[in-house]
Amino acid sequence: MVDYRSLRKVAVSGDIRYLKGGLLIKSMTGFGFGEVEEDGTRVSVEVRCWNHRFCDVGVHLPKVLARLEPEVTELVRGRISRGRVQVSVTWEEESAGTPTVDFDLAKAYKEKLEELKRMLELKGEMEMGLIAGLPEVVRRGREEVDLERAWRLISQACSKALEEADAMREREGRKLREFLSERLKTLEELVGEVEGLAPLQVERIRARLQERMREMEVKVDPDRIAVEAALLAQRSDVTEECVRLRSHISQFRDSLERGGVVGRRLDFLLQEMYREANTIGAKAADARISNLAVSLKEGIEQLREQVQNVE
C-alpha cells in the first residue's frame, strides 16, 4: 500500500533568486520539459504556464497513474504562486509485458464514431485500426504500477520541467521589469508637466472671466473677479492628485525593485493611478492639462496590459 500522506510531503519547493535590490519578478508565461529514464522506464513531463488571476493547476496523467494527481498539483503549487499551469505526464515502458485492451472504452468509442458518422452523413466502413489507435484503447504496460517508484520518477521529471519553465518566466520577467521601469519615468515626466502648468490656471481663469465681462459689457469690481477666479481655480486645483500620483508611482517602483509575487499589488496601484489621472482630467481648466491627463491614462493602460502577465 502507498502511504499518500508521506508522498504528499515529497515536494520540491521553489528556489529564490535575487537581482540587485530585491527578488526577481516573473512572467506568468513559460514552458518547460523534463525527462527521466530508469530501468527501461521513461517519464517525460511538459509544463505550460500562462496568465490567470489565481493559481489554477491542471494535470494530465496516464489512467494508471491518475491517483498521483494531488501530489503533482502540490508539487507545482510549491513552485508557482499565480497563473494557469497545465502539466502533461507521459509514462513509457520498453519491456512492459503483454499489451492490454480496454474493451469497454473501445465499444464506447465505436458507438460515438457511428453516431458522428450518421450526423454528418458520412460513407465508408470503420476500420479496426482507427479504434485501436485512439487514446487508452490499447496499452502497453502492466495494469498495476509501483506508485512510490512512479511518484519518485514523475517528481524528478516534473521538477526539471518546472525549473526550465521558471527560467523562461524569469527571462520574461526581466523584460517586463525593464519595460515597466521605462514607462514609470514617462509617467513621472507627465506629472511634472501637469505640476508646472497647474499654477498658471489662476491667471488663465481670471483672464477668461474678464474677457466674458467685457463681451457682456458688464462692469465688475476687479477684486470680485479675483475672488471668483480664485474659487474656480480652487475647484480646478490638481495638486493633491499629483502628490498622490507620485506616491503611487514611488510605491510601484519600490514593488518592482523588491520583486517576488507582486502582480496583484502592481495592478491595484495602477487602478489608483488611473483614478487620479481621471480626476485631473475632470478638474482641468486648461486644455494642455486635459491633454496631459489623456496621455497619463494612456500610459497607465499600457502598464496595466503588461502587469496582467506579472506573477
Alpha helices of 121-238 — where are they, by DSSP H?
Answer: 128-132, 147-197, 201-215, 222-235
This model's pTM is above 0.75: no
Q: Could you tell me if 49 and 84 are in contact, meaning their C-beta atoms sit under 8 angstroms apart?
A: yes
Q: Which of 242, 244, 233 is nearest to 200 (CA)?
A: 233
β-pairing verdict for 83-93 and 55-60: parallel
Place of cell 496590459: 305
Q: Would you give per-residue pLDDT tens digits along the chain (311 residues)? A: 444 444 433 333 344 454 444 578 899 999 999 999 998 889 999 999 999 988 999 999 998 899 999 999 999 999 999 999 999 999 988 755 667 788 888 888 888 888 887 888 777 777 777 777 787 777 765 556 789 999 999 999 999 999 999 999 999 999 999 999 999 999 999 999 999 888 776 667 666 666 666 666 666 666 665 666 566 665 668 888 999 999 999 999 999 988 888 999 999 999 999 999 999 998 887 889 999 999 999 999 999 999 998 98
Q: Which long-range CB contacts under 8 A does 265-269 form with residues at least 24 apart?
A: 266/180, 266/307, 266/310, 267/304, 267/307, 267/308
Nearest-angstrom CA–CA distance, 67 and 141 = 17
Q: What is the pLDDT of residue 138?
A: 76
309 alpha carbon, distance to own chain's centre: 3
Q: What is the pLDDT of residue 1?
A: 40
Task: Look at the domain 176-307 and name its fold.
Answer: Butyryl-CoA Dehydrogenase, subunit A; domain 3 (1.20.140)
Q: Which of 169, 144, 131, 136 is nearest to 65 (CA)?
A: 144
Q: Could you tell me if 148 and 2 are in contact, meaning their C-beta atoms sit under 8 angstroms apart?
A: yes
> Under CATH, which architecture does the 4-100+143-171 domain have?
2-Layer Sandwich (3.30)
Partner residues linked to 171 by β-bridges: none
Which DSSP helix (H) or strand (E) runs through 6?
A: helix 4-8
Q: Which of 276, 258, 212 is nearest to 19 (CA)?
A: 258
Q: Is 95 exposed, middle or buried (0-12, 13-18, 19+ CB in 10 A)?
A: exposed
Q: What is the pLDDT of residue 56?
A: 93
Interior/surface letters 10-31, b for 16+ CB within 10 angstroms, e for the rest: ebeeeeeeeeeeebbbbbbbbe
Q: Could you tell me if 88 and 46 are in contact, meaning their C-beta atoms sit under 8 angstroms apart?
A: yes
